[in-house]
Structure 1
Amino acid sequence: MTPQDFIRKWKTHALTERASAQEHFIDLCRLVGHPTPAEDDPQGDHFTFEKGASIVGGGDGWADVWKKGYFAWEYKKRRRNLDEAMTQLTRYAAALEHPPLLVVCDTIRFQILTTWTNLETKKYSFELEDLTDPEKLKILHAVFHDPEALKPTRTRAMITADAAKKFQTISDALQSRNPDREAVAHFVNQLVFCFFADSVKLLPEGLLKKLLQTAEKRPHKSREYLQKLFDQMKDGGEFDLTEIAWFNGGLFDGRAPLALEHVEIGLLFALTSLDWSLIDPTIFGTLFERFLDPDKRAQIGAHYTDPDKIMMIVEPVVLRPLRARWRDAFGRIGEIMRPAGEAGAAGRKGQKDQDRKIAAARARAEGLRDEFIDGLTRLRILDPACGSGNFLYLALQGVKDIEYCAINDCETLGLGRPVTRVGPEILLGIEINPFAAELARTTIWIGDIQWSIKNAIYSRPTPILRKLDSIEQRDAVLNADGSEAQWPETDFIIGNPPFLGGKKLRAGLGHDYVERLFAAYDGRVPAEADLVCYWFSKAWEAVGAARAKAVGLVATNSIRGGANRRVLEPIAQANAIFEAWSDEPWTIDGAAVRVSLVCFGATEEERRLDGQPSAAINADLSGRSSDVTLAQRLKENEGVAFMGDTKGGAFDIPGELAREWLRAPLNPNGRPNSEVLRPWVNGLDVTRRPRDMWIIDFGWEMSEDEAAMYEAPFAYVLEHVKPERDKNRRDAYRKYWWRHVEARPAMWAAIKALAATSPAPDQKASLRPRATSEPGSNPGVEGGPSSASPPRKDATSGARYIATPRVARYRSFLWMHGSCVPDSRCFALARNDEAFFGILQSGFHEHWSMATGSWHGVGDDPVYNTSTCFETFPFPAGLTPNIPATDYADDPRAKRIAAAAKKLDELRRNWLNPPDLVEIVPEVVPGYPDRILPRDEKAADLLKKRTLTNLYNERPQWLQNAHAELDRAVAAAYGWPEDISTEDALAKLLELNLERSARQ
């Protein structure tokens, strides 16, 4: 059929709506070259006439035509109001699986509305005769064949960002003139809502634009004009001979607006051109909070957390159980209405009796439906760190969707359509930031109105804005008097509490606040825990006291380990974690981080971990059958592993400066600088290439006068360390400013004790290749040992110990020369035997450390620590750390492990520093490890890529073979099968740990 044929046929027809609709549509199919519904889908599953309600006693469907994933189409009698028809179709969009296009038609006029989520809406309108226009025909063709061609390109996020940014200049100007930032925030929120109300026609059309035009001419009267408008919005009334609805709700509360200047009024007038009805509250609140709060200004322009991420909490905690509850209720309603439907189909016989049965069934069914909806209106959903309200906004949208689904479902059974009743009253929030608390209310108000408009059921309530005193502006964990803050009783707790690491609490919150926090939660939250743990603890207590049914909170993924994990342990032991995402990307204040999402409570829901069913969810958010978080510290492992030195100031210096001081003459006390200079090693020196950094170390007992005798090092510390240490809040750190803040004397005592049993010096360089010549055999190299420089005299110089980075993608252990100072980002293990080294480097200890440790940063790298990773690890019987290596030197198990460990170590060292690329150069003073230098520039470039991280990224076959050989030796030492699986090995290690800890 050609466009001309179609126009000719339908231009003058006089058929009724019902008589014309299906034939008209079939002709449209012929026109655009598409099969008819019966041809394309004889079963009516995805393309059909009369899609929707199967009304008891008969009735029309929700859409005259429906094509799944394409459109819903409604016909109306010629020249009837198509906007009303679109409203009706919009009302049923959810029941029609949210088609991207809604089409209304009266055979001679067409309206097409796009409805993609998170995109602006676009409307196409044309008439019958327009089909001769190829562009109009192309639009109609796209409806049937390619809806994506009609998809708008401008997202709600773009519109929202544009709207928020245009307000920045105005808010900045207001804040520059008004010291009361809260008053500015309140006024700007009033303006924002006025723009939204103008776009959705809650204010008389054109009123806001007219007010701003007038104010632009008389800036000195702008405050007066806005005051009159706000007064009428507060109570309802008249403004400029037009009726103003009653808004109130707390936003229009009688507070006077602020004065505006001419430029600001002009900017506001320009903002009236934007479609504020499309702003996305989940983005707007976050953006606007930053504009209003100068402390967060650096975060502007950041990426925003996807609402889909928030729904990973809201869906399982709030919506999933409510949907299940509705499925059960709807099943009972269906059973009630089935006999009524059968009676309605039985014909005219006994009609009065049948009518009575139908009426009785309908009354019972509507009672069950209303009971369910009553339950939704009584819900209480708490976000105890609600920010600008994103979690609460999405939760409200979801609950309203469920209510609407219940109404639509019941209509299919012939029940009436009650008005929707779920509103912002179901939301509770606590937020310490006054800007955010104000914005949360605005976010929720706008979102509530947007939802009703989207579903074409909005009718202006009285007042338009419901009171939201339930969004409280206060501290969620601590009262001003130091007592624990209380949360209201609720059904569900959701949210994204503040992320502040345990070590940053005092810097971020202040010493006094932290002391009161510790006192209020003593014994319930570890003092070393992150701030977010206080929210987890309180939420779990609320569940235990039946003051909440389920909880869903976001935390950095460090919640899985260390002190943080202790707040999850009682929850996991109660089998209360029903959904968790252990490691997800997230955006916090513009920074990309890794988070864990944890849902727990009194529920019988199937457990799901990282999107998959899981028999259990442990405190480390793993699904292992053996919960290694139950492991206890073992006394046999004590006194071996130590956190490295915490310097507490700029004591570190480059190697060339250290060598200059090492070559210097003896000091006035007759002592060399070598006594206070040591090579310094941090995690990067281990995982990448050594940086040749040294550290000034006056020990933990040297007096200031004694330290001053080492002239150059002391002068350096006086200049670079003392000014900062003078500002330190700890008296001892200020008083002993020339010493490291935590010099770890116990660590050095343990390393010193190893000196007598450490191997020969040529094995001491951790990254040094197997020697091809004697150390020091290249005396012609500049910087060789000086006969005038006395050797370093320190018992640790003859020792070696094992080091591992605190945070690293791969768990590697290396031999370290006894003179090297490990930084606090490393752990030192005071043992020097190859068997011990091999057990540590085995896959069993690596997997144990990952299971018992924590995780760090965007890269989600494993974190090693003494208490949970090392001191809980059960070594093979007879090879435990409390046994001297000499006692098991002849044990065949130890010999096998030592041989495999030594082989692995040598292979790694030769790969890291191939003998043909490096030179071994003695240090300028004996008693330190030899230097490993590239032979030339080409060698230097090649060596940059030779790092442990790159080696384990590549994982060549020789490395895999060496590790497999070591793992077989260690498995045999335990008496296990040499091909034991990781899961079985962890289970056996946990069993060993619990057995030994029980005997302690």
Structure 2
Amino acid sequence: MNIAEIEIQLSDLVEQPFNADEFVYRLLEIYNAPKATLTKLRKGTQNKGERPGDLLWARKIYFRPTAKGQVAQTLDGLKDLKATKSQKPRFLFATDGQEVSTLDLKTDETLHFDFAELNDHFDFFLPLAGIDKYEAVKENPADIKATGRLAKFHDEIVRYNPDWTTDEKRHALNQFMTRILFCMFAEDTGSFARDLFVKTITEFGGDDGEHLQSLLRQIFDVMNVADSQRGSVPAHVKAFPYVNGGLFAESSDIPAFNRRARRILIEAAQLDWREINPDIFGSMIQAIVHPDMRGDLGMHYTSVPNIMKVLQPLFLTSLEEEFAEAHRHREERSRLTKLLARISKIRVFDPACGSGNFLIIAYRELRTLEMRVFKRLEELDEGQRSHRWTSVKLSNFYGIELADFAAETAKLSLWISEYQMNQRFKDMFGEAPPNFPLHEGGSIVCGNALSLNWTDACPPTVNTPKSTAAIPAHIALATDVHTETYIVGNPPYQGARKQTPSQKLDLETLFSGHADFKDADYVIGWFIKAGEYLSSVNAQFAFVTTNSVSQGEQVGYIWRRLFERNLEIAFAHTSFNWSNSARENAGVHCVIIGVRHRGGKVVKRINDGFTQRVVKNISPYLIEGDDIFASPMKVPISPQLPKMVSGNMPRDGGHLLLSSEEATQLIRQFEDSKPLIRKLMGTQEFTLGEERWCLWIEDKDFALACSIPPIKERIEKVRQFRSASSAKTTQAYASIPYKFAQRCHKDIDAIIVPKLTTDARGFVTPGFLDGSVIVTDLAFAIFDAQPFVFSILCSSLHAAWARTVSGRFRVGIRYSSNISYNTFPAPELTGTQISALDELAWAIISARDQYPGKTIAWLYDPDTMPKRLLDAHRSLDETLEKIYIGRPFKSDTERLEHLFKLYAEMTADKVKEAANA
């Protein structure tokens, strides 16, 4: 259940007759108490209350019903009870069905209110649902209430009009909801006469809502007609003002109403809509028409701090600096006038705009700065106003959005933002432009951003130097070379394995048939489209995106294409945790990257969240360095590093694999099977200490294997599994059903390297195995490797490299022999240096061995890592880093900057060969 639904259900609860015996159970149910717990509380097995009627759930709530007029006194009594002190409930709650007194013992906050107002305090009790009040979606409670009412209204409309759930009706439903929203907001902000909308639908809509369909059609139609052209319409309809702006331009169907839909609409209209936040509220109502999104209703938005990380370095900081510089200049008035002209020429384009968060914040920030400039000019003119209204027009804000309702919501949210900024203008200067008729709104196109031509959605301005496209004569945007266009947004991520077929097709088209699209994240499409747009438009772009665009093989996919268009990275914010409240985003790491045309003077900055560095150039890995990227290699670029191979792949349907119990039982029943059973080890077995075994049968052992019935049966099942496979390669292995499909094993010692490593471990964690252990294809193996190779793999240098060039999985890296290992630039080592690294490898193994029974996961967990092991790694780092530069590196950033320089030197000949091929 989401927060908005909690508020709705509390509203329903207080409308019902108060039942002292049942009330508290319904309250806890609304706040997601487990059914099993409620059953135990009812039976008394978990209820620690001191007297009949009490409910005391340890660490949660102590509820006590009370006699009329005794609510506050009862709450005071609950504080001092022995049961309260021993069971430590978070809340004390007393009620007589008319009044409520409650105390949060953690925050020492007390509330007294009428029972009917319980839903107004829904957020107070959110800890009962496991949501701390300070994280309760930093949104305004008005947003949550409003969203809840709209969700309820939407659901009743589609329940009563089931045909409105079809694709054919979706646009009409979305437009209808948007218009209803506008009417409620306009009524509460004084744009309509006081209570005009709610009064009209109440008095003229019919007691059962039977007239609302025709009434709303009349109201929506009349708001698109100027007063002078309305002719004969009922007075109660004529009272609605001419709105214009396109919101009511399209004639659209209206759904039918029943009594319940009418009541819910009236309840929603009676809320106070003035204080809603359009940047948050827009994203919340997006979820209304997508019930599968409601579990995180209110969570699907980019937070304002993250939006500002994009807008500030892209253009806001420059504007602020220009404003500050004007103050210091003797021609301040002239400078401020030029700044106003610049602000008026700025266009903002979000090609994945959702409900308009980026556009709304950009609009708000530009209006705020403009008002500060106006205020300063007024001061210079000794109180005389030389300006009229704003020159920041909604028509300078563009977007593309796939979801129809989100696109409609974005337009509405921009209008709401304009109204709110006009009110701020009025507060500052005493007057504001009239609310109606609306001017042209934001230009939001509903469509697929990866298939649309962006120059159609946000056309180049006439005479823009970079423009090569023919510009239609009717485009009346700012038409001089000083127009600034900024592309912003937070495009959808979708990793390669989570993409729909249509999304795969989008990327395949963009990649012009090159196969690398198959492993690309969906967000890369926006980078490629933005690069195409910048080829014909003088613009810059900056996106919030997952750090996959600056890590792993995808770096080559995207940045090679952008650099070929003569683009460069202008600024970057390195990896940071996603900061909105959505539960599934807890482990998401993002970066922000700004891109511009190469050339000209620009100060390039890298922000790591703590410090900001000015650098000469920003590499695709978001460090200072050249525009190079590590490309997959078939062999190590460092000649002294031996070959790394992927382990053995069974492709057997699980029939050649054995649990410890199965292996033990097989050997107990058939002693001859012992030499056919080998220990099996992949990433999970190595890092978590799990044990698995396998049948490892050589050609010479085939007859022996077939003489053991359970093994013969398993071999036959493997043959059947492979024969039935749709993959021809798997079918081919049916001829050797007793063997793993792909084998690389050697009966010699090996180093095992996990394919998956979490960020928390801080190191790549290889291990030594004897020749009897079979490494699976879920790990890598290096056979007959010297210990110094183990040391290099264990180093902080290699960990930093692997974290940067490897692909990602949820909370760590997906190690690859071709990209993580073969590209690692290890220096040429002397015999003395190799011997020193050999000794340090054994020191790490010795430190691990001091903790028998402990897993690699435990040994390298930051909370449990033994000091001796950490010291062994530090000694290794100190020795190896002195080999590289004569001293330890200061940070991972310095490590990476040096490694990439070395990589460029070591691969220079290979790059030349490729260029001449």
- The one-letter code matched in structure 2 to 1:498 is P
Confirm or deny that 1:893 pairs with 2:876.
no
Aligned to 1:245: 241
> Structure 1 residues 204 and 239, CA, compared in 2 at 3 Å: closer, same or farther?
farther
Aligned to 1:89: none
Residue by residue over 1:169-212, the C-alpha shift from the partner in whole angstroms, topping out at 9 and shown as x without a partner, is 22123334112222211111111111111111222222212223
- The one-letter code matched in structure 2 to 1:996 is M
> Structure 1 residues 744 and 814, CA, compared in 2 at 3 Å: closer, same or farther?
farther
Residue by residue over 1:825-852, the C-alpha shift from the partner in whole angstroms, topping out at 9 and shown as x without a partner, is 5333344322221222233323333344
> Structure 1 residues 968 and 595, CA, compared in 2 at 3 Å: closer, same or farther?
closer
> Structure 1 residues 298 and 156, CA, compared in 2 at 3 Å: closer, same or farther?
closer
Confirm or deny that 1:271 pairs with 2:268.
yes
- SS of structure 1 residue aligned to 2:512: helix
Mapped partners of 2:852, 2:542: distance in 1 = 46
Which of residues 555, 560, 574 in structure 2 aligns to 1:581?
574
Which of residues 199, 206, 211 in structure 2 aligns to 1:210?
199
**Cα offset for 1:528?**
2.2
Contact 2:638 2:828 in 1 (8 A): no
Aligned to 1:977: 886
Which of residues 224, 227, 245 in structure 2 aligns to 1:234?
224
Mapped partners of 2:710, 2:176: distance in 1 = 65
**Cα offset for 1:810?**
2.4
> Structure 1 residues 736 and 307, CA, compared in 2 at 3 Å: closer, same or farther?
farther
> Structure 1 residues 988 and 158, CA, compared in 2 at 3 Å: closer, same or farther?
closer
Aligned to 2:145: 162
**Cα offset for 1:645?**
6.0
- The one-letter code matched in structure 1 to 2:412 is T
Mapped partners of 2:561, 2:717: distance in 1 = 51
Contact 2:621 2:804 in 1 (8 A): no
Aligned to 2:26: none
Equivalent residues in 2 for 1:502-541, closer than 5 Å: 502-505=496-499, 507=500, 509=502, 512-519=505-512, 522=514, 527-541=518-532
**Cα offset for 1:239?**
5.3
**Cα offset for 1:213?**
1.7
Aligned residue pair count: 708
| Percentage of identical aligned residues | 21
- The one-letter code matched in structure 1 to 2:218 is K
Mapped partners of 2:714, 2:581: distance in 1 = 42
**Cα offset for 1:904?**
1.5
Mapped partners of 1:372, 1:248: distance in 2 = 31
Aligned to 2:190: 201
> Structure 1 residues 390 and 718, CA, compared in 2 at 3 Å: closer, same or farther?
farther
- The one-letter code matched in structure 2 to 1:898 is D
**Cα offset for 1:156?**
5.2
> Structure 1 residues 698 and 553, CA, compared in 2 at 3 Å: closer, same or farther?
farther
Aligned to 1:560: 550
Aligned to 2:800: 847
Which of residues 179, 190, 195 in structure 2 aligns to 1:190?
179
Residue by residue over 1:751-807, the C-alpha shift from the partner in whole angstroms, topping out at 9 and shown as x without a partner, is 42xx3xx3xxxxxxxxxxxxxxxxxxxxxxxxxxxxxxxxxxxxxxxx433223422
- SS of structure 2 residue aligned to 1:947: helix
Mapped partners of 2:696, 2:492: distance in 1 = 38
Contact 1:558 1:564 in 2 (8 A): yes
- The one-letter code matched in structure 2 to 1:874 is P
Aligned to 2:391: 421
Equivalent residues in 2 for 1:130-529, closer than 5 Å: 157-176=140-159, 177=162, 178=164, 179=166, 180-214=169-203, 215-237=205-227, 240-241=235-236, 243-252=239-248, 253-300=250-297, 302=299, 304-327=301-324, 335=331, 365=334, 372-414=339-381, 415-456=385-426, 457-464=431-438, 466-468=440-442, 470-478=443-451, 488-489=459-460, 491-505=485-499, 507=500, 509=502, 512-519=505-512, 522=514, 527-529=518-520
Mapped partners of 2:735, 2:208: distance in 1 = 67
Aligned to 2:828: 877
Aligned to 1:641: 644
Equivalent residues in 2 for 1:96-115, closer than 5 Å: none
Mapped partners of 1:734, 1:618: distance in 2 = 49
- SS of structure 1 residue aligned to 2:224: helix
**Cα offset for 1:697?**
8.7
- The one-letter code matched in structure 1 to 2:211 is K
Contact 2:805 2:820 in 1 (8 A): yes
Mapped partners of 1:223, 1:970: distance in 2 = 77
**Cα offset for 1:550?**
2.3
Aligned to 2:690: 691
Q: Which moved more, 1:427-436 or 1:510-519?
A: 510-519
Confirm or deny that 1:813 pairs with 2:766.
yes
Mapped partners of 2:172, 2:614: distance in 1 = 53
Aligned to 2:77: none
Mapped partners of 1:819, 1:642: distance in 2 = 17
Aligned to 2:608: 610
Equivalent residues in 2 for 1:46-57, closer than 5 Å: none
Mapped partners of 1:265, 1:501: distance in 2 = 44
- The one-letter code matched in structure 2 to 1:532 is V
Aligned to 1:651: 654
- SS of structure 1 residue aligned to 2:320: helix
Mapped partners of 2:697, 2:199: distance in 1 = 75
- The one-letter code matched in structure 2 to 1:257 is I
Which of residues 521, 542, 545 in structure 1 aligns to 2:533?
542
**Cα offset for 1:894?**
2.9
Residue by residue over 1:603-651, the C-alpha shift from the partner in whole angstroms, topping out at 9 and shown as x without a partner, is 7245241253313363355445688846885445687224456778973
Contact 1:582 1:622 in 2 (8 A): no
- The one-letter code matched in structure 2 to 1:640 is K
**Cα offset for 1:743?**
7.5
**Cα offset for 1:511?**
5.6
Q: Which moved more, 1:309-318 or 1:868-877?
A: 868-877
Contact 1:430 1:476 in 2 (8 A): yes
Mapped partners of 1:484, 1:527: distance in 2 = 27
Aligned to 2:753: 803
- The one-letter code matched in structure 2 to 1:249 is G
- SS of structure 1 residue aligned to 2:614: coil
Mapped partners of 2:257, 2:552: distance in 1 = 53
- SS of structure 1 residue aligned to 2:210: helix
> Structure 1 residues 715 and 194, CA, compared in 2 at 3 Å: closer, same or farther?
farther
- SS of structure 1 residue aligned to 2:239: strand
Contact 2:653 2:718 in 1 (8 A): yes
Aligned to 1:829: 782
Mapped partners of 2:391, 2:884: distance in 1 = 67
> Structure 1 residues 166 and 557, CA, compared in 2 at 3 Å: closer, same or farther?
same
Mapped partners of 1:430, 1:229: distance in 2 = 29
Gaps of 5+ in 1: 1-152, 338-364, 759-798, 880-890, 914-942
**Cα offset for 1:417?**
3.3
Mapped partners of 2:578, 2:495: distance in 1 = 18
Mapped partners of 1:530, 1:734: distance in 2 = 31
Q: Which has the larger radius of gyration?
A: 1
**Cα offset for 1:734?**
8.6
**Cα offset for 1:530?**
1.1
Q: Which moved more, 1:581-590 or 1:307-316?
A: 581-590
RMSD of aligned residue pairs (Cα, Å) = 4.3
**Cα offset for 1:853?**
3.6
- The one-letter code matched in structure 2 to 1:270 is E
- The one-letter code matched in structure 1 to 2:257 is L
Contact 1:156 1:278 in 2 (8 A): no
Mapped partners of 1:648, 1:172: distance in 2 = 48
- The one-letter code matched in structure 1 to 2:438 is I
Aligned to 1:663: 667
- The one-letter code matched in structure 2 to 1:685 is E
Mapped partners of 1:823, 1:575: distance in 2 = 42
